[in-house]
Amino acid sequence: MPAAKRKETTAHVHSPAIEDYLEQIHNLIEGKGYARVVDIAKNLGISQASVTNMIQRLDAEGYVVYERYRGVIMTESGKKIGQEIARRHEVLTRLLSGFGLDPKTVHEDVEGMEHHISRQTLDVLTLLMEELEGNPELLKKLKKRLKSSS
């Protein structure tokens, strides 16, 4: 493979589905200490059978360690991805929520967008979020403009 054709940074890219599973497992472990199939399924709105199936793939690919009927823990590489997605989720949510959008709409948009944000774009969005959170004057001005145009 010619060097020119290689992805710089060995850009392991995962499907949105895989990212959603790892994000959920990460959040559950963070929040209650463990991640059960039934809760993952509930949070993602899919069947338990689908969750079991994916967990086996995640184990095979080294993102979690899985023991039949016993539960799942995350490997370092799995944790890294889960955290990364949770971070994007948070930045997007805070940015959009600042403008007073309907929380449900925010969540739907965030849940999709979070899988398509490079490091550079994340930096930009973080910057905008910070500026708006630290500069209420600006936010207020923009929100007014937003309302007048709706």
Partner DNA sequence: TAGCAAAGTTAGCCCAGCCTAAAATGTACT
Partner DNA sequence: AGTACATTTTAGGCTGGGCTAACTTTGCTA
Distance between CA atoms of 44 and 47, rounded to whole angstroms?
9
Closer CB to Mn ion, residue 101 or residue 142?
A: 101
Mark 84-123 with x for binding to DNA (rule: CB under 7 A) and - for no binding: ----------------------------------------
Among 80, 111, 113, 122, binds Mn ion (CB under 5 A): 111
Mark 14-53 with x for binding to DNA (rule: CB under 7 A) and - for no binding: -xxxx-----------------xxx------xxxxxxxxx
Distance between CA atoms of 23 and 10, rounded to whole angstroms?
21
Residue type, 33: G
Q: How far is the CB of 129 from DNA (least distance, A)?
A: 28
User: Under the criterion CB under 5 A, does residue 89 sit at the interface with Mn ion?
Assistant: yes
**Neighbour-count burial for 48-83, b at 16+ CB within 10 Å, e otherwise:** eeebeebbeebbeeebbebeeeeebebeeebbebbb
Q: How far is the CB of 72 from DNA (least distance, A)?
A: 8
Q: In sequence order, which residues have a C-beta less than 8 Å from that of residue 116 and are 6 or more positions away?
A: none
Q: How far is the CB of 140 from Mn ion (least distance, A)?
A: 28
Among 112, 133, 136, 140, binds a second copy (CB under 8 A): 112
Give SS3 for 72.
strand
Closer CB to Mn ion, residue 97 or residue 143?
A: 97
Distance between CA atoms of 107 and 122, rounded to whole angstroms?
17
